[in-house]
Amino acid sequence: TYKNRIYWCSQQTGTIPPSYAPDSFGELNFFRIGEDWQPITALAGLLGRLYVFKEEEIYIISLAEPIEGSAVQLLERGPGCINHRSLVMAKDMVLFVGKNGIYKMNGLSVTRIDYGMTFWKDDPEELLGWYNEAEEEYWLFGNGTIFMYNVLSGFWKKHTIGNVNNIVDVVNSLTDTVY
């Protein structure tokens, strides 16, 4: 298996080589993203670019010229996304859980936002992220607790929700209890 490759096909029509034909995935139509030992964990589109997350790295693929070999660039080494379920798009940023913290990315830089809190470390691969657009909050929930990060103020708050099975249970449990 190739857990560090992104395959692509052209959307153009006309006189282009057969391997780049629309809806055709030629055997060389892929980007190799980093080393084989670290699989791709999540993808996000922001600012006309595709961001590829691994456990300890973030790469950018420029979508303007996908055929060029220089289309893949390393954005950040260290923070990465260990759980695709934690990654959410919020306004003009991406929020996600990494091995060593919780981060936000604006497309150019990555900032740690957990301020040394350790609530997420117990089982980071099971945390589920969601963006509450009305409150402009990044929600992480797992193990009967929800942590909410306000993207405008930068503050966190905590709410215990008990036993939940899905995001609908979480939203319903917050009615009249948090706000």
What is the reported pTM? 0.77
> Taking 70 as the threshold, does the pLDDT of residue 12 lie above it?
no
> Hunting for tokens 């099971």 — which residue is that?
126
Taking only the tens place, the pLDDT of each residue in 72-87 is 888 888 889 988 999 9
DSSP one-letter code for 108: S
Report how far residue 9's alpha carbon sits from residue 81's, in angstroms, rounded to the nearest whole number: 26
Q: pLDDT band at 8, cuts 50/70/90?
A: low
Opening angle at CA 177, ends 171 and 179, nearest 5 = 90
Taking only the tens place, the pLDDT of each residue in 149-163 is 999 999 999 887 765
Q: In Å, how far are 7, 10, 25, 62, 126 from 20, measured between CA atoms?
A: 12, 6, 8, 17, 39
